[in-house]
Every structure is written in C-alpha cells, then in structure tokens.
Amino acid sequence: MSANPSGLPHKPAGAGLRFPGRRVQGPTAALHRPLVLILVFLAPAILIYGLFFAYPMARAVYLSFCRVAPASQVATFIGTANYRKLFSDPIYGWALVHNLVFLIVSGSATIALALAIAVGLTRISRGRGFFRVIFLFPNVMPVVVTSLLWSFVFNPAFGLLNGMLRLLDLNRYCHAWLGEPHYALPALMLIGVWGGVGFYIVLFYAGILRIPTDYLDAAKIDGANGWQEFRHVTLPLLGDLMKIAVTYIAINSLNIFALVYLVTEGLPDRHLDVSLTYMYEQYSKNSNMGYSCTIGVMQMAILLGLSFLINRVLRRETVEL
Amino acid sequence: MTPRASKVLWYILLAIHGLAVLLPMIWMISTALKDSWTIFVSPWGYPEHLAWANFPNAWKKGVLGWKFINSIYISLAALCAALGIASMAAYVFGRFKFWGRRTLFFVFIAGLTLPAFLGIVPLFMLMKSLGILNTRYGLTFVYTAFSLPFSIFVLTGFFRGLPGELAEAASMDGCSPFGVFFKVMLPLAKPGLVTVGIFIFISLWNEFQLALVLLTKPENSLTLTLGIANLTMAQRYQSDWGAMFAGLSIGVIPTILLYSFLQKHIQAGLTAGAVKG
C-alpha cells in the first residue's frame, strides 16, 4: 500500500464519544442492547483481520526462532540460532546499508525537491491546479509500471536517457546505467525520488497554505528576503508535517521491495540487495523460511526504533501553531 | 531580484519538474505505438505510422486482457468487503464505549505500520492448508484484511465526528440500533467512504508484493501488475518491445483515469489526516 496516511494525529480516545440515545425499556429491549450490536459489528473485522493479518504476523515471530523443513513445513524450535546467524551475515549487512543509503540520499533529495516545488507552487499565480495534478501522476501509477518503465529509460540500446544524450551529441556520457555498479544505485534512487516526491509536494503545499499570513507579513515588514522568510518562518511552522514526512520516508526506504526486485532481476550479481529482497530470496530461492521470518522480525524492530528516534530528534525542531 | 523575475524562476523550476514527470510517461505511450524496428532505430523519435496492433498483441500475449478483468474483479470485491466490514467496526469504535475498546483499536491500527512482508511466510502456509492459494477469492480475502487498518482508522475518525442528534432522534422513534446504523449513520458517512474507497482501490490495483508470493504459478499470475511483471521478465531477451510498452500503458490507464476524474478527492484525502484543520 502506498502513501498511507498512517500514524496521523488523532483525537484522544473517548473525546467526543456519544451514545446513540438512551433506549426506551420495552419488550424488545434485549435486541436494542448495544452489546449485541458491538459483537455483531466487530465479529467480521476481527475474524478476517485476525486470520489473514494478525495470525500470520504473530506466527512469523514464532517461526523466526525455528527451522522450517522445506517440504513438510514442520517447524522445529532452535532458539536464537537464526538471530545469531543474521548478526554475522554480511549480505544482510550490505542490504541494510543499501536501505540506509536510500533513506539518507534519496530521502533528503525527496524532501528538498518537495519543499522547493511546494514553495514554488505558493509563489506563482496561475497554473497551480494544473501542476498539482501532474506532479501526483507517478504516485498513482503501479510501482510495477514505474520500475519497469524506468528500467527501459536506462536501457543502453534504446533507452530514453541514452537517446537524449545522443541527440545532444553527448555520446561519451552514454552508459549501460543499470549494468554498471557505479551507476546502478544512483539510478535506482532517482526512480525512487521520481515515484515518491509527488506525495510530499502535496503534503508540504497544504502545510504552507496553513501558515497564517500574519507571520509571513510580519517577516516581510521586518525586511526578510525570500530565503530568510522560508528558513525562519515557513520551515519551523511546517511543524509536525516535517516529522510525518521524515517518518514516511524512513518507513518507505526500509520497506522498499518491488522497485529493487523488478529493476535488478536478471542483473549479474546482487550488489543491490535491500533487506526485503534478501528476505524474499531466502524464502523463494533457498526455502529458508525460518530465517526469512527472522529478517522480517528484525525489519519490524528497526522500523519501530527508527520511528521512535525520528519522533525524539525532531520534537524540539518544530513549533506548534 | 524583482518579484516578476523571481516568479519567472519559480515557473521554470515547476516546468522542469513537470517535464521530468511527463517525459517518461509520454515516451512510454509513444513507444507503445511504434513497431520494434523503429524503437531501435529512433528511440527518441515520434512514431511515424502508429502501430496500434501493439495493444491487442499485449492484450492477448500475456493474457493481459483476462488479467485486467481479474484485477478489476479482485480489487472491487476486496474494496466492497473492506468498506462493509470496516464501516461496521469503525462505527462501533467511534461511537460506543466497551471493555477493551482501546486495546482492540490499537491492534487494528498497528497494522498500518507493520510491513506487509513480515507475515508473508505463515500467510502462504495458511492459504496452502486452506486450499485457497492461487485462487481469486483467496487473494480477495487477503486484500480485504490488509485494507482494514487504513479503512478502520480513517472511518473511525469520521463516525466520531458525525452529529449524534439524528441518531438519537431515530432511536427515539423506535429505530433499532442496527437500523440507526444502516438508515442514518451509514448514509451520513458517505463522503468518508468515498475517500477511503478511492485510496483502497488504487492501492489494491497497484499491489504487487502479496500477489507475487501468493500466486505462485506463472500461469496463475491473476493480477495485472503481476502479469505485466512476468511478461516483461519473460520478454526481456526477446524482441516484441512495442507490445511490452503497450502492456505498461494498459497497467497505468485505470488509476490515471480514476485519479484524473477524482483528483480533488485524492488531493484532499492525502492531507486530510496529516494536516489538522
């Protein structure tokens, strides 16, 4: 699922709760009791979510301590052996490094570009609606199409990029982009920025519009130039939005899968594995189901830690309106 | 710098980004209309004679046509199931107090942050033992379950914000609690249902990871995204590039159309939760 507005602020539980009326006691009172309604209305959700979501997740935690026989799928408890193996697994280490590079490089590029574009949108007078519609196109495209389309853009023989370079008579800059280790990771990150930045543009744009104009006017009267206004008024007043954006980017950079899987499938070695493609590989190619679950549990632990950290670090940086 | 000059610079920045967004998409469609020879000779050029045959070819070749219909069927079925189940649960979470409410709500919402891949191995085993691996309704069940956290989260906030007077009046008039929900509250929640529905449909249509693992046989790759991926992987060393680009274009059309018509809803919905007020 992409662009889920998850982890959003919501009202404290109980605030504004109301019961739909006291019921008149009568012969049908039993039928009117909310308990029946509560049970009946919650049952389907608990059943479906429990069976196909919660149970597999909980079971994965257990399997991460097991060895699972590939054919019979019988699980044998082996304690922390999988975790010890994970901590000394260099391929997993490199996969995490790639995730981290994605998070830092691709993430900062996304935020910087989104901020610039969002500010730009507020400074122009005509065509805002047009630009906003276009900028979100990549976000609603299936990630399968984005990944494959871009793997063709980078294609050495007929790709758009080399085609453009040849057209401009810059043949010496042509590369087999995805086939060359030096260019493959930056190329992947470029695809990531292209596919993801639209959401953050919309987010920041809405955030900037929310800032009361008094603040901006005050800054102008004090003689602030455009950059100072942005640095000292707009940026701090984006408040929680920056925290939300960074949290999303962290989650998305860690959970990156389809892009890397589709673009690098068929490339010679796996110098581009990220944690989830490695997890999938352990499961699909090596039938290493227990170990695969261990990587998944580790993933969850890292995600939780990271969101906690981001919330901690960015708390003091923001101003509440 | 004069205001006018800075405005021009902003326009240039926006135009460059707009071009960067549109160029690959235009290239995709123009390549889908070229024959394989032209693609190699002039990758950058305008298609001289439009090779419309690429589209029927793609439609037939990877059985993409059948998968297109399958994807619509699965996405819509899961969407309806998720909206129905989630609105009932969200109504209870939003408007009733009962023992364990906060804990249960938290369990559902936790699903928003958990990576879908974490439970994939046990999910695969479960579906195998239930005999619903590689089936359309098996995937529909899973998609329904994975859509619940987001739907319940948004709809609970929505039901909580609805005015209580109408419900009270209806219940005074002898409407049963079930009647209050179906006749009064559910119609009031329609805008929320539409917004959630759009997001769920787009994300299910675009879904790839779960389908990849749960539809194990290539000939059973039921959804369009998986079909496109398989077709491209198989075709990478063959030469019908035109059909492949046509396949990519087919995969984009429904969500781009839906987005273009409903973009106000989507732009508002994207930030509704994140931006207060």
Q: Which amino acid is at B234?
A: A
Shortest Cα distance from A42 to chain B (angstroms)? 5
- Mean pLDDT score, B140-154: 94
**CB contact, 8 Å: B125 with chain A?**
yes
**Residue A25: DSSP 8-state:** P
Q: A241 vs B79, which has greater pLDDT?
A: B79
Token pair for residue A83?
């975790």
d(CA B38, CA B17): 28
Question: Which of A1, A38, A60 shows the shortest C-beta gap to B121?
Answer: A60
Around B42, how many Cα atoms within 13 Å sit in the side-chain half-sphere? 8
Residue with tokens 């910087």: A112
Q: Is residue A23 scored above 70 in pLDDT?
A: no
Mean pLDDT of chain A: 83
**CB contact, 8 Å: B95 with chain A?**
yes
Mean pLDDT of chain B: 85
Residues 44-73 of B with CB under 8 A from A: 44
- Mean pLDDT score, A5-32: 40
d(CA B140, CA A290): 26
At A66-87, the pLDDT tens digits run 999 887 888 889 989 999 999 9
- Mean pLDDT score, B164-169: 84
- HEC assignment per residue over chain B: CCHHHHHHHHHHHHHHHHHHHHHHHHHHHHHHCCCHHHHHHCCCCCCCCCCCCHHHHHHHHCCHHHHHHHHHHHHHHHHHHHHHHHHHHHHHHHHCCCCCHHHHHHHHHHCCCCCCCCCHHHHHHHHHHHCCCCCHHHHHHHHHHHHHHHHHHHHHHHHHHCCCHHHHHHHHCCCCHHHHHHHHHHHHCHHHHHHHHHHHHHHHHHCCHHHHHHCCCHHHCCCHHHHHHHHHHHHCCCCCHHHHHHHHHHHHHHHHHHHHHHHHHHHHHHHHCCCCC
Residue with tokens 């319940």: B152
Question: Which of A20, A149, A164 shows the shortest C-beta gap to B44?
Answer: A164
Q: B274 vs B266, which has greater pLDDT?
A: B266
pLDDT score at A263: 87
At B3-21, the pLDDT tens digits run 788 889 999 999 999 999 9
Shortest Cα distance from A283 to chain B (angstroms)? 8
Instruction: Give the residues across from A68 on adjacent strands.
Output: A75
Q: Is residue A6 scored above 80 in pLDDT?
A: no
Distances (CA, A) of B200 to A257, A268, B75, B223: 20, 37, 8, 16
Cβ atoms A153, B24 nearer than 8 A: yes
User: Which residue does chain A place closest to B249, by CA atoms?
Assistant: A145
pLDDT score at B83: 96
Total Cβ atoms within 10 A of residue B19? 11
Q: Is residue A30 scored above 50 in pLDDT?
A: no
Residue A250, classed as helix, strand or coil, is: helix
d(CA B182, CA B184): 6
pLDDT score at B89: 96
**Residue A68: DSSP 8-state:** E
Question: Which of B154, B164, B267 shows the shortest C-beta gap to A202?
Answer: B267
- HEC assignment per residue over B28-88: HHHHHCCCHHHHHHCCCCCCCCCCCCHHHHHHHHCCHHHHHHHHHHHHHHHHHHHHHHHHH
Q: A17 vs A111, which has greater pLDDT?
A: A111
d(CA B103, CA A152): 48
At A149-188, the pLDDT tens digits run 998 899 887 788 888 888 787 877 788 888 787 888 899 9
pLDDT score at B32: 86
Closest CA to B196 of B72, B74, B83, B80: B83
Q: How confident is the model at residue A18 (pLDDT cuts 50, 70, 90)?
A: very low
Q: How confident is the model at residue A213 (pLDDT cuts 50, 70, 90)?
A: confident
pLDDT score at A54: 94
Residues 17-36 of B with CB under 8 A from A: 17-18, 20-25, 27-28, 31
Task: Write out chain A residues lying below 8 Å of B270, CB-based.
Answer: 3, 5, 199, 202-203
At A224-267, the pLDDT tens digits run 888 888 888 888 888 778 888 998 899 999 999 999 998 887 66
- Mean pLDDT score, B198-215: 91
Cβ atoms B243, B154 nearer than 8 A: no
Q: Is residue B141 scored above 90 in pLDDT?
A: yes
CB contact under 8 A, B177 and A121: no
Total Cβ atoms within 10 A of residue B218? 12
